[in-house]
Structure 1
Amino acid sequence: MSLCVTFLGTSGAVPTVDRNPSSIAVAREGESFLFDAGEGTQRQVMRYGTGFDIDRIFVTHAHGDHVLGLPGLVQTLDFNDRVRPLSITVPRGARRQIRSLISALDTRPGFELRIREVVAGDVAYRGEEYEIRTFETDHDTRSLGYALIEDERKGRFDRERAEELGVPVGPKFSRLHEGESVELDDGTVVEPDQVVGDPRPGRSLVYTGDTRPSAETVAVADDPDLLIHDATFASDNAERATETAHATARGAAEIANRCGAKRLALVHLSSRYAGDPSAHLAEARAVFDGPEERVFVPEDGHELDLPYPDA
């Protein structure tokens, strides 16, 4: 089952020639989500081929570099004859701002916009075998992060052991894998734990949006496969990061260590670093507990498939 992340926008508040404002596309087994939609997101969707069949949009906060792409995106979806509703999830208190933004030019799409407010600790969406949870972030406005966390998967079925125990090939295999006991023709009862291994973890990814380093990011998911963290500044501007409620690359790496992240993506880079993220990479890799290649500064269009932990 696929879980693919495409970085549509990785710049900070000011876009650059090569980096668009914030937006992350996530595709999971036929479902498509956007996390934030900075200015120009619709063009990034076209440029990198993530598609306009977007199921849900999750907004971290109502700053322009995270939401100014919404009016154009909604208009384009309307031009493409969308008819099914579009769900937009926003922090509590932001519904009116987002609706006003989208309707500023009297835009009236031919589909329903469902703008829902959530608070930290909510399940923003429950899908099939996964959920998207919210967590508190530390920014200078009401803001949230989002964590996509898959359910545990069933343990592996040991066919060879089942046959040794006399279970005939067929429906009883499936019943055992679903957790049911089965009775054989001679009256022997075979229990699921005799032929099914321990549950296997699903995948998880965490997106902070804009934030200072925060314990809530650590608490939302154990050992996430991918942490996408604000790294607006390198440590040469650590005071500026604190003042503006952002993080440094080093701070992001320290949070990645604390939550046991397998990969760390540094995003929301200030335009002052332009096309040279070397300082970010050096300081993050110096403190990250893992292989250097597990820390990266994605360029716009960078695509990453997340395998299962036991793959």
Structure 2
Amino acid sequence: MYLQFLGTGAGVPSKSRNVSSIALKMLDERNEVWLFDCGEATQHTILHTSIRPRKITKIFVTHLHGDHIYGLPGLLSSRAFQGGEESLTIYGPVGIKDFVLTSLKISHCHLKYPLHFVELEQEGVAYQDDKIAVKYMTLQHGIQSYGYRVIEADYPGELQIEKLKQYNIPNGPIFGRIKKGEIVTLEDGTVINGKDFIGEQKKGREVVIFGDTRFVSSHISFCQHADVLVHESTFGKGEEKLAHNYFHATCQQAAEIAVKANVKQLYLTHISSRYLGQDVKKLQKDAQAIFANTKVVHDLLEIEVPFNHD
């Protein structure tokens, strides 16, 4: 599981940062890529990555400001010309369906794949199957804005082959039964319990991705013990009043959420074009003063979401 930041700027694109979009790459786990937001020119940035649009099966929209959705019509249209035949589902606030369908209708775009919409309410579960779930909650941004928490199911323990060698079990279906934890009787009459030969479960990974938001202490519980938290950082240290007035957060407020929620890693995005060079380093340093495992991200940065080995 990898996160790749396709756009890390705030409001408008700049020479160094495109507007908001993040790819959650789960190619090994489920051969899919999920997007979180799709700002203008997201499909251009994708050209500089290994992502194939046909692999994008879900798009989770945090809110309906243009810098988070203007890339949708272009990406959806191009996907139809790039081998995309599998269905795609867009999740987001009420209004996302009208925006997308109106854009496609007026531009006479006819997709070659099924397009579905799930318009969300205040909080709940946006998506769930036996491998993964996506929960969401309402943030504070003037318009409806969501934070998403991706929760991977725990991995079953591995079959401990070395411990089984003493029984000289031939290759075949019996190994499958043991791996399922069944009680098995061998040809010589030996009875073994499969559960005794299965290692501990491996905890699934959890990623929280916030849309634009003010600092709100109630967000802490939503982020508790996440492996990764992606949080906006539109303003810097000492700009708390400005951040509040514009429904955004500072780098240190994001760090406060991270430390109180006991997350493993904080990635700061939605960086204003006011911050260049040393200013960006200062954002990171100021946040690290509160939460050491903080990094200000840049476009195209790719990071692996690690398993928690605690």
Do the structures match in fold with TM over 0.5?
A: yes
Instruction: Between 21-30 and 192-201, report the one with greater CA deviation.
Output: 192-201
Counterpart of 1:95 in structure 2 is 97
Q: Quick check: 1:5–1:25 contact (8 Å CA) kept in 2? A: yes
> Following the alignment from structure 1 to structure 2, what is the Cα–Cα distance between the partners of residues 227 and 109?
34
Closer, same or farther: CA 105–236 of 1 in aligned 2, 3 Å: farther
Counterpart of 2:259 in structure 1 is 257
Q: Quick check: 2:154–2:201 contact (8 Å CA) kept in 1? A: yes
Counterpart of 1:196 in structure 2 is 198
SS at match of 2:47: helix
Query: What's the % identity of the aligned pairs?
Result: 34
Deviation at 1:8, TM superposition (A): 0.4
Counterpart of 1:244 in structure 2 is 246
- Quick check: 1:308 aligned with 2:307? yes
Closer, same or farther: CA 82–194 of 1 in aligned 2, 3 Å: closer
- Quick check: 1:273 aligned with 2:272? no
Deviation at 1:220, TM superposition (A): 3.6
Deviation at 1:217, TM superposition (A): 4.1
Q: After the TM superposition, which residues 156-195 of structure 1 pair with which residues of structure 2 at under 5 Å, given as runs?
A: 156-163=158-165, 166=167, 168-170=169-171, 171-185=173-187, 187-195=189-197
> Following the alignment from structure 1 to structure 2, what is the Cα–Cα distance between the partners of residues 78 and 235?
44
Counterpart of 2:109 in structure 1 is 107
The alignment's C-alpha RMSD in Å is 2.4
What one-letter code is carried by the residue in structure 1 that aligns with 2:6?
L
Counterpart of 1:287 in structure 2 is 290
Closer, same or farther: CA 222–169 of 1 in aligned 2, 3 Å: farther
Counterpart of 1:146 in structure 2 is 148
- Quick check: 1:4 aligned with 2:35? no
Instruction: Between 131-140 and 216-225, report the one with greater CA deviation.
Output: 216-225
> Following the alignment from structure 2 to structure 1, what is the Cα–Cα distance between the partners of residues 190 and 216?
55
| CA distances 1:129-153 after superposition (whole Å, capped 9, x unpaired) | 2222222222211121222211011
Q: Quick check: 2:182–2:195 contact (8 Å CA) kept in 1? A: no
Deviation at 1:11, TM superposition (A): 0.4
Deviation at 1:187, TM superposition (A): 4.9
Instruction: Between 176-185 and 62-71, report the one with greater CA deviation.
Output: 176-185
> Following the alignment from structure 1 to structure 2, what is the Cα–Cα distance between the partners of residues 151 and 129?
5
Q: Quick check: 1:213–1:247 contact (8 Å CA) kept in 2? A: yes
Deviation at 1:295, TM superposition (A): 1.4
Closer, same or farther: CA 157–60 of 1 in aligned 2, 3 Å: same
> Following the alignment from structure 1 to structure 2, what is the Cα–Cα distance between the partners of residues 45 and 216?
34
What one-letter code is carried by the residue in structure 1 that aligns with 2:141?
H
Deviation at 1:299, TM superposition (A): 0.9
Q: After the TM superposition, which residues 5-84 of structure 1 pair with which residues of structure 2 at under 5 Å, given as runs?
A: 5-29=3-27, 30-53=31-54, 54-80=56-82, 82-84=84-86
Counterpart of 2:296 in structure 1 is 297
TM-score by length of 1: 0.88
Q: Quick check: 1:8–1:300 contact (8 Å CA) kept in 2? A: yes
| CA distances 1:104-130 after superposition (whole Å, capped 9, x unpaired) | 434333433212212344332335622
| CA distances 1:66-119 after superposition (whole Å, capped 9, x unpaired) | 001112212222343644332111123543234334444343334332122123
5+ residue gaps, structure 1, are none
Q: Quick check: 1:136–1:217 contact (8 Å CA) kept in 2? A: no
Within the candidate set 117, 120, 123, 1:118 is matched to: 120
> Following the alignment from structure 2 to structure 1, what is the Cα–Cα distance between the partners of residues 146 and 290?
26
What one-letter code is carried by the residue in structure 1 that aligns with 2:32?
E
Number of residue pairs matched by the alignment: 304
What one-letter code is carried by the residue in structure 1 that aligns with 2:13?
P
Deviation at 1:180, TM superposition (A): 1.8
What one-letter code is carried by the residue in structure 2 that aligns with 1:109?
L
